[in-house]
Chains A and B, each alone.
Chain A
Amino acid sequence: MSLHTLTIAELSRKLRAREVSSVELTRACLKRIEEHNKPLNAFLTVTAESALAEAGSADRQLAAGGAGPLTGIPIAHKDIFCTDGVRTSCGSRMLDNFVAPYDATVVARLKAAGTVMLGKLNMDEFAMGSSNETSYYGPVANPWDRSRVPGGSSGGSAAAVSARLIPAATGTDTGGSIRQPAALTGLTGFKPTYGRVSRYGMIAFASSLDQAGVLTRSVEDAAILLEAFAGFDPADSTSVNEPVPPYTTLLEQPLKGVKIGLLKEFFDKGLEEATGSCVRAALEVCRKLGAELKEVSLPNLPLSVPTYYVVAPAECSSNLSRFDGVRFGHRCQDPKDLMDLYKRSRGEGFGAEVKRRIMTGTYVLSAGYYDAYYLKAQKVRALINEDFRRAFREVDVLMGPTAPTPAFAIGAKVDDPITMYLNDIYTIGANLAGLPAMSVPCGLVGGLPVGLQIIGPHFAEAKILNVGHRYQRETDWHRRIPRGYE
């Protein structure tokens, strides 16, 4: 079996058995990147030299003993995470020249756990997009069909892991940016509870919704990574000071008696039929494993998309004000005065989707509109939160589709932002309520992957991982490899 098809868990065993060295593994990944990245456009930066150095030191640690489950494992980061001394572009011309002077907490913790960073991954500009088409560096192709999108905004992460260039990648999820690309590329994508993982060093899009997570080839790998970087960080006031459970040891619990809620609102007319069938089949697998299925209704959930498209742009309009051409990032040529500096630096630095959201956000926060939009959206958000709370009094986890359709064609929706926004209709609710959620592959439609979404109560990461892992033990959708990448 080739190294590139193995999961982190499998590679970790081989590394510790000294069947393969981290340097060999890293070289194998770098070779895969060299062979396959160009048409995919997943990697924006490849840090081969430092990766080999890190792999070398991982090998010394492996030889000396005391290596952890991630020692010597190659990964790559979405280009939204600041990486000390490495360009961190956020998929934007604005930060094309920005070399971060520090490591994000997620990056630092994974480094401390012994991972080897191979580079930085393409993404929608400032994580604003559902198809990876808003990137300044061009769209990312879906390895399952390169004429199609990989989803977004963590599209580079999804393509790189799906094409077996690397075993896993970090991502961020503000409205579905980990789960939707995972679904569209046949991966496991995990977004933890808001506050479970530090946001420090993650370039902010919408601060109250952003959360870091992972795209992997198995639930077990997601558990291994999450264990390494979850947990309180004094540098992020919104991170929660709760102990991190040993997720990997809680994966095997039987599903007997677990109550699974079927989200009624997720199986509505917007869901493509074949996709719905795959999800229903997955639910049937869980039922056979002893879980109890029950339909639940979250009446306010259909309001998620409009609510999200008030809250997220409002926060982004403020978060992106720091990109003003004064201290870092893009600065226009020969500004004639301060206003010219602002207008041209920002006008040239930001792409159309980012500008659209900054303008929307500025509008909804303006005097006279604040109550009608921002305040009302916050109230609806509270109602959605309450819907979830009520549902979790009856069930342990909720299930439904991750995205309404499999991957769509590159260019198909770029001119229609509303249709594009509706692609996140099933994922946004978990962000608004701050809930942990995961997408796991549950079928193929026309040769394209479909995702099953599992949502849990706050801090129920272990339960979601447990349910997902038991499902993956019964199925092999997560082991399917896109043609040409075997």
Chain B
Amino acid sequence: MKEGHKDWELVIGLEIHAQLATRSKIFSGSPTAFGAAPNTQANLVDLGYPGVLPVFNREAAHMAVKFGLAVGAQVGRRSIFARKNYFYPDLPKGYQISQYEKPIVAQGALDIELEDGSRKRIRITRAHLEEDAGKSLHEGLPGVSGIDLNRAGTPLLEIVSEPDMRSAKEAVAYLKKVHTLVRYLEICDGNMQEGSFRCDANVSVRKVGAEKFGTRAELKNLNSFRFIEKAINHEAARQIDILESGGSIKQETRLYDADRNETRSLRSKEEANDYRYFPDPDLLPVVLDEAFIETARKSLPELPDEKAARFTREHGLSEYDAAVLTASRELAAYYEAVVTAFGGEPKLAANWVMGELSGALNRDGLEIGAGKVDVARLTGLLRRIVDNTISGKIAKEVFEAMWNEGKDADTVIAEKGLKQITDTGAIEKAIDEVMAANPGQLADYRSGKDKLFGFFVGQAMKATQGKANPAQLNALLRKKLK
């Protein structure tokens, strides 16, 4: 928020569309894989041909129920598909099958961590099942629009929050939390570039302390965490400027343009469609019995918050470290695998996973598991630190070589001769040489200049190419310098 906007408060609610990771579409047997040639993954049902009928894919209900249980929501024993009617070329039937009055999930909540370390509860109004639309294609098609219906009929879970967020940062924290959760649950791949995880934001502003919400604008096309924060702040500033200059906000839908960092009006409330929702007569109500819900419950993994709590409780990690490690299920799994393989040393493992490993992954733009340092190799490296074969500093050098060359720690240490010197005689010999070569400093030290101890450590380390065991070197040096 800009300076001078301190009197104003943001009110934000998010509508998240998560594509469910079912193999086939929600109402047809077509595959859902991304990236196929246009219209090769759309059958007659997806194309809305005359006479065809939808058949519900119950796997989508299983996934929606998993989400509902994970956010402590009510799972609808009987939910109803409704038709949302509007015309658009990428909407083959002229209506989208969605859920309206009776969604499959209602009234849940997620806690987010704020910057000051406190937690805040964001209420989830509902999550309902619906089908995705196709895509309009414009590139390389002068004068006409192409339609690709591969995406039409892909199952979506639309997750609608209450207007509980009060800053763009809170909105991003909530969005990230949902993003982490759906990937933990393995119900959505979370890929924002491919559009499998999308977000619209309802944004309004009000004077701090006001009870009534302001008029909201719906922001569309927020396709990365960074854009969302910028778009919300930009939109809030736009609204505040209007209000402060005596204007009023129009209820409308606005599109965020990431290239220009601005939002522009897409349609006003007056131009909004009357969707004429009514229950879809082609589909029976989705009736879920206790066994169905129980199966979903049993398939729930340990959720991120539970996992983080366990890491602090059982591994003695800080809350911050636990939160970082559990932000992705794969990262947490990697960390735990290292601890298990090692048989302990959780803090060391956490430091290496969050430090060198994550750094290298980020640098190379790789997903966890894609790098050349797997669980066994990182564990091998940690063993050589703990058994004093190498120092922590040398270990970083070893890790780099392992990462780049795809070798295990022992091979790198042997090839590069990085084994730590723990032979007392060899270290003493190096110390003797350093003392002989620096008589002036030795005299100064012995006359009380304690600070010169560091000088001798540095010189002795240099003489052993950094391989001397630091603890041994310190002890021997103190004895000899007396």
| Residues of chain A whose beta carbon lies under 8 Å from any beta carbon of chain B | 81-82, 88, 90, 95, 98, 100-102, 104, 199-204, 206-208, 234-238, 314-315, 317-318, 320-324, 326-329, 338, 342, 362, 365-367, 370, 374
Contacts and interface: CB of A to CB of B under 8 A. Distances in A.
A327 B47 contact: yes
If over half of B's interface residues share one DSSP class (helix, strand or loop), that class is named, otherwise mixed; here it is loop
Given A204-B51, A318-B94, 14 more contacts: A100-B50, A104-B51, A200-B53, A201-B51, A203-B50, A207-B282, A237-B53, A237-B56, A238-B284, A318-B276, A322-B92, A326-B147, A327-B92, A365-B276
B52 interface: yes
Interface string B92-127: 111100000000000000000000000000000000
Which of B55, B277, B278, B283 neighbours the largest number of chain A CB atoms within 10 Å of its CB? B278
Contacts of A208: 281
A81 B50 CA distance: 10
A283 to B, nearest CB: 35
Interface in B416-475: none
A101 B278 contact: no
Contact of A374 (B54, B92, B278): B278
B87 interface: yes
B49 interface: yes
Given A101-B49, A237-B282, A238-B281, A321 B87 contact: yes
B3 interface: no
Interface residues of B, number: 29
Contacts of A98: 50
Contacts of A315: 281
B380 interface: no
A374 B279 CA distance: 11
B76 interface: no
Contacts of B87: 321, 324, 342
B230 to A, nearest CB: 31
A136 to B, nearest CB: 15
The 7 closest A-B pairs by CB, nearest first: A321-B94, A365-B276, A208-B281, A207-B281, A201-B51, A322-B48, A203-B50
29 contacts: A81-B51, A88-B50, A88-B51, A100-B50, A100-B51, A102-B49, A104-B51, A204-B51, A235-B55, A236-B53, A237-B54, A238-B283, A314-B278, A317-B85, A318-B95, A318-B276, A318-B278, A321-B87, A322-B48, A322-B50, A322-B92, A324-B87, A324-B89, A326-B147, A327-B49, A327-B147, A338-B145, A366-B274, A367-B274
Given A235-B55, A322-B48, A365 B281 contact: no
B151 interface: no
Nearest to A210: B281
Nearest to A365: B276
B282 A101 contact: no
Interface string B50-65: 1111111000000000
A366 B276 contact: yes
Nearest to A207: B281
Nearest to A325: B89
Contacts of A362: 276
B329 interface: no
B44 interface: yes
Interface in B231-283: 274, 276-278, 281-283
A333 to B, nearest CB: 15
Nearest to B50: A203
Contacts of B17: none
Which of B44, B83, B94, B276 neighbours the largest number of chain A CB atoms within 10 Å of its CB? B276
A82 B51 contact: yes
Contacts of A200: 51-53
B135 to A, nearest CB: 14
Given A321-B85, A342-B87, A235 B53 contact: yes
Interface in B145-163: 145, 147
Given A238-B281, A366-B274, A367-B274, A202 B92 contact: no
Which of A81, A100, A199, A365 neighbours the largest number of chain B CB atoms within 10 Å of its CB? A365
A328 B50 contact: yes
Contacts of A88: 50-51
A201 B93 CA distance: 15
A414 to B, nearest CB: 26
Given A326-B89, A338-B89, A365-B85, A203 B51 contact: yes
A293 to B, nearest CB: 36
Contacts of B92: 322, 326-327
Interface string B150-187: 00000000000000000000000000000000000000
Contacts of B44: 101-102
Nearest to B278: A365
A184 B47 CA distance: 39
A88 B87 CA distance: 24
A155 B52 CA distance: 24
A323 B54 CA distance: 17
Nearest to B93: A322
A101 B83 CA distance: 26
Contacts of B56: 237
B379 to A, nearest CB: 51
A202 B51 contact: yes
Contacts of A199: 53
Which of A101, A321, A370 neighbours the largest number of chain B CB atoms within 10 Å of its CB? A321
Given A101-B44, A237-B282, A315-B281, A322 B53 contact: no
A238 B282 contact: yes
B51 A370 contact: no
Contacts of B83: 318
Contacts of B89: 324, 326, 338
Contact of B278 (A82, A235, A320, A370): A370
A322 B54 CA distance: 14
Interface in B33-87: 44, 47-56, 83, 85, 87
A236 B92 CA distance: 19
Nearest to B88: A338
A320 B83 CA distance: 13
Contacts of A81: 51
B273 to A, nearest CB: 10
A201 B49 CA distance: 9
B79 to A, nearest CB: 14
A361 to B, nearest CB: 9
A104 B44 CA distance: 12
A326 B83 CA distance: 20
Contacts of A206: 281
Nearest to A201: B51
Contacts of A318: 83, 85, 94-95, 276, 278
Contacts of B48: 322, 327
Given A208-B281, A237-B284, A321 B51 contact: no
Interface in B1-55: 44, 47-55
A370 B184 CA distance: 41
Contacts of B284: 237-238
Nearest to B45: A235
A367 B270 CA distance: 13
A338 B144 CA distance: 10
Contacts of B50: 82, 88, 90, 95, 98, 100, 203-204, 322-323, 328-329
Interface in B348-363: none
A234 B55 contact: yes
Contacts of B49: 101-102, 322, 327-328
A362 B85 CA distance: 10
B142 to A, nearest CB: 15
A326 B152 CA distance: 15
A102 B53 CA distance: 13
A367 B276 CA distance: 7
A236 B284 CA distance: 10
Nearest to B54: A237
Which of A208, A236, A238, A318 neighbours the largest number of chain B CB atoms within 10 Å of its CB? A318
Contacts of A100: 50-51
Given A202-B51, A237-B55, A328-B49, A321 B282 contact: no
